[in-house]
């Protein structure tokens, strides 16, 4: 299938920020072909059915569920094969899949689980799909990270969220920010653009249903907010902040220090 539409792959897109991003992009323009990445096709198809039942008359861009588990190399490789045979390229990769370990477990298990998804999976997915990104005329990679991964903010005694727990999660996001920085530098050699994006404290399924309720009760923002910010980025409304300024792109404005 040859297409002049912008091919966008969003990982972890069957819920939370990823799901809202797919919805917002589809509503914004008919010029996308959106790939809804989920760990299983059942979850992806269920997410698409949910989207269509609520937003069907407002959807402008087509949406295709695909199975991609960032911790499973076979699903990553099958995604690469599908993209190559169907579109011949990838224009935008939004690395949204992430995890926070909330159940009690040994620190080593926590670290392995957290880094497997938040860091190792992100690196492998991008590496595997880079040849397809290189075939795009405007390749872009967005890592959905967190200001909690900012070492500068962590050491700032005035930082308002300095007492938020979760060392393992913060470590993984600091590593993800370094990955984004490395890819930003390396991809410039062939014209690729890379940024690290802070979605803020919003309502997601990242910490399960209990955590979701806690976020709602605590006044967390809707996942629609970062989704709208991601649409603005892809529409070219924040080019300097996203692709040139040094730091973690904030959903509202400006960048946070690395």
Using CA atoms, how far residue 179 sits from 149, 176, 182, 183, in Å, is: 12, 5, 5, 6
173 assigned to active site: yes
Cα distance between residue 162 and residue 129, in whole Å: 36
Task: Exactly one of 173, 185, 189, 237 is catalytic; name it.
Answer: 173
Edge-to-edge strand list for the sheet holding 193-198: 62-67, 32-38, 6-10, 92-95, 140-144, 193-198, 248-250, 255-256
Task: Exactly one of 32, 80, 169, 170 is catalytic; name it.
Answer: 169
161 assigned to active site: no
Q: Secondary structure of the chain: what % helix, strand, coil (to 5)?
A: 50, 15, 35
C-alpha Rg value of the chain to the nearest Å: 17
Beta-bridge partner residues of 193? 140
Cα distance between residue 162 and residue 154, in whole Å: 6
Q: Which two tokens stand for residue 122?
A: 């992100």
Beta strands in the chain (DSSP E): 6-10, 32-38, 62-67, 92-95, 140-144, 193-198, 248-250, 255-256
Angle at which helices 122-133 and 167-187 cross, to 10°: 20
Count CB neighbours of 138 within 10 A.
13
Active site residues: 169, 173
């Amino acid at each position: 299938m040859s297409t002049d539409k912008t091919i966008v792959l969003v990982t972890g897109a069957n819920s939370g920020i990823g799901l809202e991003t797919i919805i917002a992009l589809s509503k914004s323009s008919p010029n996308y072909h959106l790939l809804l990445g989920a760990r299983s096709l059942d979850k992806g198809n269920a997410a698409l059915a949910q989207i269509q039942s609520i937003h069907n008359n407002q959807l402008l861009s087509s949406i295709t569920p695909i199975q991609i588990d960032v911790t499973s190399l076979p699903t990553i490789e099958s995604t690469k094969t599908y993209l190559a045979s169907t579109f011949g390229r990838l224009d935008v990769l939004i690395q949204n899949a992430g995890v926070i370990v909330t159940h009690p477990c040994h620190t080593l298990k926590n670290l392995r689980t957290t880094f497997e998804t938040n860091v190792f999976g992100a690196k492998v997915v991008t590496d595997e799909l880079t040849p397809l990104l290189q075939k795009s005329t405007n390749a872009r990679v967005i890592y959905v990270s967190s200001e909690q991964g900012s070492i500068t903010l962590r050491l700032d005694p005035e930082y308002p969220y300095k007492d938020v727990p979760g060392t393992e999660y913060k470590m993984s996001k600091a590593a993800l920010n370094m990955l984004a920085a490395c890819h930003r530098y390396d991809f410039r050699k062939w014209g690729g653009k890379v940024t690290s994006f802070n979605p803020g404290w919003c309502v997601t399924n990242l910490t399960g249903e209990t955590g979701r309720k806690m976020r709602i009760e605590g006044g967390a923002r809707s996942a629609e907010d970062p989704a709208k910010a991601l649409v603005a980025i892809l529409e070219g409304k924040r080019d300097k902040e996203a692709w040139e300024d040094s730091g973690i792109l904030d959903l509202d404005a400006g960048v946070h220090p690395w």
